[in-house]
């Protein structure tokens, strides 16, 4: 699928997951965060920092923000630092000319002087130009293991949002929506069964959804409670899924 007009693709082996938009995201107690990011994607200015546990939706929201910005004809880039940190901070060169930059997993480069200096420069350039900067990590700016005090200060200058975990009903809805987006028919009762019999965090639940999808395709069966029960008895817990 082609990216929306204006969406900047990094010259590396990464493609946005176009299913991860705001319509697919179940906000729960994070409605204010979603609303602010949609405003930022439409306007192309402002600074927002998101933090939360794995599976809280950080990566989903950053990709949704970039895709919406592209639909508004803004030039946007999503940078998953956990995947690209080994390429060095030169990866960030030229991004200051875009309308919106979203940096994911800042914790993976915290404590590395060259990265921190590059992030500091990028933040200042975007802010001074009246453009948009969005970042996400597993802890607040104060909690990041940063050596550069000025960078920690800058990250806290804008709006800081702590992503809240979903209630069980919202987790069920998130599972059903994600399954539907992938063409998987996941009955409500099966989603509830998964919540009761497997893990409660969203990263783990999405990993189970991946596993069930593969299993139903191999067995040519629909997802029912008896089928899922047999899989849970036979299978070890899968690794973490996408955030």
- 129-183 pLDDT, tens digit per residue, is 999 999 999 999 999 999 999 999 999 999 999 999 999 999 999 999 999 988 8
Asked which of 24-38, 141-155, 190-204, 228-242 is least confident by mean pLDDT, the reply is 228-242
Contact between residue 198 and residue 231 where contact means Cβ atoms under 8 Å apart: no
Residue 49: the pLDDT is 98
Let me know whether 209 and 151 are in one domain: no
Let me know whether 112 and 50 are in one domain: yes
Could you give the number of structural domains in the chain? Answer: 2
Let me know whether 157 and 69 are in one domain: yes
In eight-state DSSP terms, residue 7 is B
Let me know whether 120 and 136 are in one domain: yes
Q: Is the pLDDT of residue 85 over 80?
A: yes
- Give this prediction's pTM: 0.86
Let me know whether 137 and 177 are in one domain: no
Torsion sign, CA atoms 50, 54, 56, 60: positive
Let me know whether 123 and 219 are in one domain: no
CATH (domain of 69): 3.40.50.300
The reply to whether 11 falls in a domain is no
> Which residues have CB under 8 Å from 214's CB, separation 6+?
none
The reply to whether 175 falls in a domain is yes
Whole-number Å distance between alpha carbons of 54 and 84: 18
Which DSSP string corresponds to 159-189? EEEEPPPPPHHHHHHHHHHHHHHTT----HH
Give the domain extent around 205.
168-234
Q: Which of 115, 141, 162 is the last residue of a domain?
A: 162
> Which residues have CB under 8 Å from 21's CB, separation 6+?
64, 67, 68
The reply to whether 242 falls in a domain is no
Hunting for tokens 């996400």 — which residue is that? 136
Cite the DSSP H helix spans in 72-201: 81-84, 113-128, 149-155, 168-181, 188-197
The reply to whether 12 falls in a domain is no
pLDDT by residue (tens digit) across 21-78?
999 999 999 999 999 999 999 999 999 999 999 889 999 999 999 999 999 999 999 9
Residue 241: the pLDDT is 53
Torsion sign, CA atoms 33, 36, 42, 47: negative
Let me know whether 172 and 157 are in one domain: no
Whole-number Å distance between alpha carbons of 57 and 163: 8
The reply to whether 18 falls in a domain is no
Let me know whether 88 and 198 are in one domain: no
Let me know whether 173 and 155 are in one domain: no
Q: Which of 162, 187, 213 is the last residue of a domain?
A: 162
Let me know whether 180 and 62 are in one domain: no
Whole-number Å distance between alpha carbons of 66 and 61: 9
Let me know whether 82 and 149 are in one domain: yes
Judged by DSSP in three states, 221 sits in coil
**Mean of the pLDDT values across residues 7-21?**
64
Q: Which of 137, 162, 187 is the last residue of a domain?
A: 162
The reply to whether 7 falls in a domain is no
């Amino acid at each position: 699928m082609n990216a929306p007009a204006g969406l900047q693709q990094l010259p590396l082996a990464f493609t946005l997951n176009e299913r991860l938009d705001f319509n697919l995201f179940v906000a729960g107690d994070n409605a204010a965060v979603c609303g602010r990011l949609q405003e930022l994607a439409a306007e192309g200015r402002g600074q927002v920092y998101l933090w939360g546990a794995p599976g809280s939706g950080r990566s989903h929201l950053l990709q949704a923000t970039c895709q919406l910005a592209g639909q508004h004809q803004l030039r946007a880039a999503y940078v998953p630092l956990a995947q690209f940190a080994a390429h060095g901070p030169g990866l960030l060169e030229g991004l200051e000319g875009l309308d919106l930059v979203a940096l994911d997993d800042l914790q993976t480069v915290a404590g590395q002087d060259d990265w921190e200096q590059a992030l500091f420069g990028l933040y200042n350039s975007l802010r001074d130009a009246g453009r948009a900067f969005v970042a996400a990590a597993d802890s607040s700016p104060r909690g990041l293991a940063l050596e550069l005090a000025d960078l920690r200060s800058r990250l806290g200058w804008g709006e800081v949002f702590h992503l809240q975990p979903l209630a069980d009903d919202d987790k069920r809805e998130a599972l059903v929506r994600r399954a539907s987006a992938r063409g998987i028919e996941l009955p409500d009762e099966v989603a509830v069964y998964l919540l009761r019999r497997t893990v409660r965090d969203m990263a783990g639940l999405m990993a189970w959804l991946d596993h069930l999808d593969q299993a139903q395709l191999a067995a040519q069966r629909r997802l029912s409670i008896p089928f899922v029960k047999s899989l849970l008895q036979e299978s070890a817990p899968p690794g973490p899924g996408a955030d």
